């Protein structure tokens, strides 16, 4: 007869790291260190790039990423969930905060941080109330369309950085048109560096 795993106490239910530390084995340390270094190698450039998309200084992306990782290490329970900066969330944040503050100002960074804290508290409340079932009402087609549309928006919004041309202002259509008109001014060095930094594009 197989023995059932002991039921976690109330502390371990809400702070799972307590149970993990209690049962941690030294033999796991090497693999965990390698995994940590691998995540760090991917997270640093991602955090810097996505902070730029959100319209805040690069170091802010690293601050947010560290907070998310530490928070999930303390309270997360799934071994499959990946936490880290998101391009779509960064773009949504920039578009919302842009209605309230001027990008590049200290007020813009303050409002962005406030939005992130409010969103985090909202998710925390939904988690405590076990409201995960709400995601069942989100259509796969809607989610797919959202991701696809934001992918196009990100390409248009960041194209000037890849080409090394001045950034245009206005709607996505206006930005795209102005960027296309500047194609003859493309910086070969900037384009080469951008291509090397994005190996997926060459596959």
Per-residue pLDDT tens over the stretch 138-187 = 777 877 777 777 778 778 877 877 888 887 777 778 888 888 888 888 87
Contact 112, 55 (CB under 8 A): yes
Q: Is 170 inside a domain boundary?
A: yes
- Does residue 155 fall inside a structural domain? yes
Q: For residue 151, give its domain range.
A: 138-198
**Residue 45 token pair:** 């450039």
Answer yes or no: is 142 within a domain.
yes
Query: pLDDT digit string (tens) for 1-37?
Result: 455 555 666 777 778 788 778 888 889 889 889 988 8
Is 58 part of a structural domain of the chain? Answer: no
- Alpha-carbon distance 7 to 13, whole Å? 9
**Domain contains 113:** no
Read off the pTM.
0.59
Residue 188 placed within a domain: yes
The verdict on residue 130 lying in a domain is: no
Any idea what the Cα angle at residue 163 is, between residues 157 and 165, rounded to 5°? 80
The CA-CA-CA angle for residues 189, 190, 196, to 5°, reads 90
- C-beta separation of 60 from 1 below 8 A: no
Residue 180 domain flag: yes
**Six-digit token pair at 81?**
């969930």
Tokens of 53: 């998309």
Overall number of domains in the chain: 1
């Amino acid at each position: 007869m197989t023995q059932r795993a002991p039921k976690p106490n109330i502390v371990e239910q809400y702070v799972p790291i307590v149970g993990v530390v209690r049962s941690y084995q030294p033999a796991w340390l090497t693999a965990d260190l390698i995994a940590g270094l691998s995540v760090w190698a991917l997270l640093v450039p991602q955090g810097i790039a996505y902070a730029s998309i959100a319209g805040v200084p690069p170091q802010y992306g690293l601050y947010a990423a560290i907070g998310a990782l530490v928070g999930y290490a303390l309270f997360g329970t799934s071994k499959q969930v990946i936490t880290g900066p998101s391009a779509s969330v960064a773009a949504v944040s920039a578009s919302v905060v842009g209605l309230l503050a001027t990008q590049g100002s200290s007020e813009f960074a303050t409002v962005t941080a406030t939005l992130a804290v409010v969103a985090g508290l909202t998710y925390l409340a939904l988690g405590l109330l076990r409201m995960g079932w709400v995601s069942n009402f989100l259509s796969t087609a809607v989610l797919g369309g959202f991701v696809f549309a934001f992918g196009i928006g990100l390409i248009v919004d960041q194209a000037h950085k890849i080409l090394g041309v001045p950034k245009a202002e206005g709607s996505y259509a206006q930005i795209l048109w102005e960027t296309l008109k500047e194609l003859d001014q493309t910086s070969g060095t900037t384009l080469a560096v951008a291509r090397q930094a994005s190996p997926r594009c060459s596959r």
